[in-house]
Each structure stands twice: as C-alpha cells, then as structure tokens.
Structure 1
Amino acid sequence: MTLNIAHRGFSGKYPENTLLAFRKAVEIKADGIELDVQLTKDNVPVIIHDEMVDRTTNSFGLVKNFTYKEIKRLNAGGNERIPSLEEFLELAHDSNIFVNLELKNSIFPYEGLEDIVLNLLEKYSISKEKLILSSFNHNSMMKIKEMDSSIKTGLLYESCLYNPYNYLKTTTASALHPCFASLLQNIDETKDLIEKNVEINTYTVNDVVYMKALIDLGVNGIITNYPDRLKELL
C-alpha cells in the first residue's frame, strides 16, 4: 500500500513546516509527515526548508545566522512560528505518525546535525518502524548508517540516477527518494526497482493524474502538499 506523506505538513493549505500544518496533516489522517531540519547559530534544530528565511517568514537572512531565540520571533505565516525539532517530535510521539525527516545539509554541512537529530529521536522514543531520515547529502545518510545501522535512510535526488539499484546498494541506504518526474520518465527502470523490492518514496506530487500513475506503479510513499487529494484517491 502507498503511504500518504504530507510534504512539510499539510502545506497546500497551511503555512509549510509549522505546527499548524503538522496538526492538520494528523487531523486528516495522513499516514506520515515530511519535514526539514536545520541548525540555528546556537545549534538548536529547527524546522524550515530553505537555507534562508526570506521566502517563508517576515525577515531575511540565513537560518544558521539566527539564534534560536531570534528565529522564534519570526512570523512563518498566519502568525505561526518556526518550530523546533523537539516541538515536532512531541506531536509525532503523541500521534504515532510516520516521520520522514530530511536533513537540510546539502549546502551548509551543519556540523553535528546527525548526532543532534539521533539523540532527540531517542529522547522522544520515536519508533524506528515509523521513521526514515533523508537528504540530498548522501554522505550524511551514510554517516547516519554508521552511527545507527537500524535507522532507515532515503537518498533524495532530482534528476535520473545512473543504475539507481546498484548505487543504492553501494551507499547502504534503505530507500530512494526521487523527484516523481524521474520515475515517470523511466517507467521500465521504475518497474524493475519495484520488482526488486526497492523502497521508493517520491516527491512532490500534487496533481491527481500523477498521483494515480504512481499508485498504479506501486511506489511505497507519495510526498504531497495535498494529502487530502491523495487520501481520496487511495
């Protein structure tokens, strides 16, 4: 069965990566939530997608240049605030929802991010059966596996990978997290991956036509801004 994973929460209708968007995803009974984590200047993990706060808040500048106290003052839409990872994990623990946590370290390395994230996941007793960490930084995902081989990891990529099955095996990762277009552009390869039981969670699918095509292919998870649309199809 294909999982319905709310991209940055229910971001199609509510401010992305906010507690409101996460709560609304839980309310409509999405199977999971995808979210992004970065570190503030004082090494507090916070939930925001862009490396800069310009697009989603009433301020400007790099996330890594704000202290946690400073970043919590920003308006992330509708008077919502940028949540800390701890605030999200409290909600995730209580709701028992599947968590797809993306480490946003493909531009800035955020030294210690892997350690900080793993420690918090343990603190809040997040079930490893309902958890996957992902990143465009594949070295980071290999580091996660070295630190805890039982944690599932997903390799994010936008364009097509050459021989993705072999690449997945060399990285020790658990799943592929491709842009949906790369799957539809290479149907035979996608079918082959699925036949080989490769876990595929694809992003960001908002059109019901593409949702249906991917469900029919049998991907494991669809990451969408509109979990309500996907839920209706499923």
Structure 2
Amino acid sequence: MTKVINFAHRGSSAICPENTMAAFHKALEQGATGIETDVQMSRDGRLVLIHDEMLNRTTSGKGLVKDHSWSEIGQLDAGSWFHEDFQGEKVPSLEQLLDFTRDKGTIVNIELKNGVVLYPGLEERVIECVRQYGMEERVIISSFNHYALVKCKALAPEISTGILYMEGLYEVWDYAQTVGADALHAFKYAVLPEWVEQARSKGLVYHPFTVNDAKEMMHLMQAGVAGIITDFPDVLHGLLHGEGG
C-alpha cells in the first residue's frame, strides 16, 4: 500500500492556511508525496493558487480574483485569517509551486477552477507553465469542468487528467474514456472496491477526496485506490508506514 499517493489537499490545510507556500512546505515535511491545489487567473493572466473565485475568505482582499492584477493580489495577506502566526503569508503562483516541487519527486494535482468563472486561455497557460518546469510526467490536471479536460488532452496528451465528480456516476470508467481522462477524482463516498477494479481494467485509477478519517483512509487503500486527497497528510503517512490504523 505504500505506493498510494498521499495528496495534501491545498497543502497541509488543517494546520496551515490553505494554498500557501507554508501549507505546501508543511505537507512535504509531513510525508505528503503529492500536493493538490487550485488555480485561477488574475486580471493580467497570471496563474493564481486560490480555491475561491472571491478573495474574501482566505485573503485580506475583496472581490473576484479575475478583477485584480497579480501585483494587487501579491500585496494581500493570505495567512492572518487562519492564525496570527501566518500573518504576511502571500497568495502563491503556480510557478512558485512548480519551482518548489520539481526537484522533489512530488506529484502535483492542479485543479482548474473554471466552473463558475470561465477563464479564457486557462488551459493553455497551465500547460505552458507545466512544460516550462518540465513537470509533464508529475502533474495531474483535474476539474469539475470536463470540457476543460478534453481541451487539455488535445493540447497536451502527455499530461494526465482526472475528472472531478461528486456522485455515483454510472460506469464512470466508460464515461472517463470519452473525456480521455486517466484518473477518477471522486468524492470519497463514490468509491467501491468493485468499481476500483473495473476502472483498473480500463486503465483508470481512483484518487478520492477529501478523506480525513483514518478508518476511511484504510478502507479506501484496501479497496485499491491509487491516491488519497486529504487535509491530514501526516495521518495518511502514518498509515502507509505502519504507524497507525
């Protein structure tokens, strides 16, 4: 089971402000072998790592990410909302994360946040950035917008994609093949051992989200998933290395 990818959800987001370099650094310290993050675009086309379309919840800013320049976003505090110890933490760019991980063997799951705000050219810019850092073999692009994943596969067939979905889609492994996807990023309750096996027979792997309970982690590992997306990479690391469960 040690081959299961330990994806830190927005970094080590249980103890650090999500989608910050502090969270990404802590995740690797805790044994994460993968990092899951979210990408949006600034007004001037920079790739911004932030989950919400709005700045309000996780930064000192207000309004839509798309309405602010990268320079403006760079001046915001992205840590104090979580804890005063993180005051001054910044919103990172995709370039910063790829530069941090490229020599560490880390798998990076980039979720395209283009379901509410449709960012023109987001797919092209993300792929260009991944190629710039030579990370094609270690990046998975995921999205709830499956049209975007079809576009990514057309632009970069060498980069893995994963379809994000919430419910028990019928024979999702067949549907995923129509999208050209490589992985099923299912909500944790939409995963059964027999489905994992059927998906594997079609060359697809499961990376369920967001799994924070140790018993659920064990159940999913026993079901044969290839990766788990969690807010607690330290807990999953312990299970993978026989330190709990």
Q: TM-score, normalised by structure 1?
A: 0.94
| Conservation of the 8 A alpha-carbon contact between 1:39 and 1:110 | yes
Given candidates 167, 172, 187, the residue that maps to 1:179 is 187
- Give 1:194 shift: 3.9
1:189 counterpart = 2:198: no
Tell me which residue corresponds to 1:84.
93
1:200 counterpart = 2:199: no
1:212-231 to 2 correspondence within 5 Å? 212-231=218-237
- Give 1:28 shift: 2.4
Tell me which residue corresponds to 2:129.
120
1:110 counterpart = 2:112: no
Percent sequence identity over aligned pairs:
43
Distance 2:107 2:195 in 1: 27
Tell me which residue corresponds to 1:155.
163
Distance 1:115 1:189 in 2: 32
Query: What whole-Å deviation, never above 9, does each CA across 1:168-201 have from its counterpart, x for those lacking one?
Result: 1111111110010111xx5543443345542111
Pick which of 82-91 and 194-203 moved more.
194-203
Distance 1:189 1:121 in 2: 31
For 1:210, give the aligned amino acid: E
Distance 1:189 1:61 in 2: 41
Pick which of 44-53 and 88-97 moved more.
88-97
For 1:130, give the aligned amino acid: R
- Give 1:135 shift: 0.6
Pick which of 56-65 and 9-18 moved more.
56-65
Tell me which residue corresponds to 2:83.
none
Tell me which residue corresponds to 1:8.
10
RMSD: 1.4
Distance 1:11 1:171, change over 3 A: same
| Conservation of the 8 A alpha-carbon contact between 1:194 and 1:218 | no
Distance 1:118 1:197 in 2: 23
Distance 2:22 2:159 in 1: 27
Distance 1:32 1:177 in 2: 14
Distance 2:201 2:4 in 1: 15
User: May I ask how many residue pairs the two structures share in their alignment?
Assistant: 231
SS of the equivalent of 1:95 reads coil
Query: What whole-Å deviation, never above 9, does each CA across 1:23-53 have from its counterpart, x for those lacking one?
Result: 1112223111011110001111110011111
| Conservation of the 8 A alpha-carbon contact between 1:52 and 1:63 | yes
Query: What whole-Å deviation, never above 9, does each CA across 1:109-148 have from its counterpart, x for those lacking one?
Result: 100111111111111111x332211111100000011111
| Conservation of the 8 A alpha-carbon contact between 2:150 and 2:179 | yes
Given candidates 57, 60, 64, the residue that maps to 1:58 is 60
- Give 1:82 shift: 0.4
SS of the equivalent of 2:103 reads helix
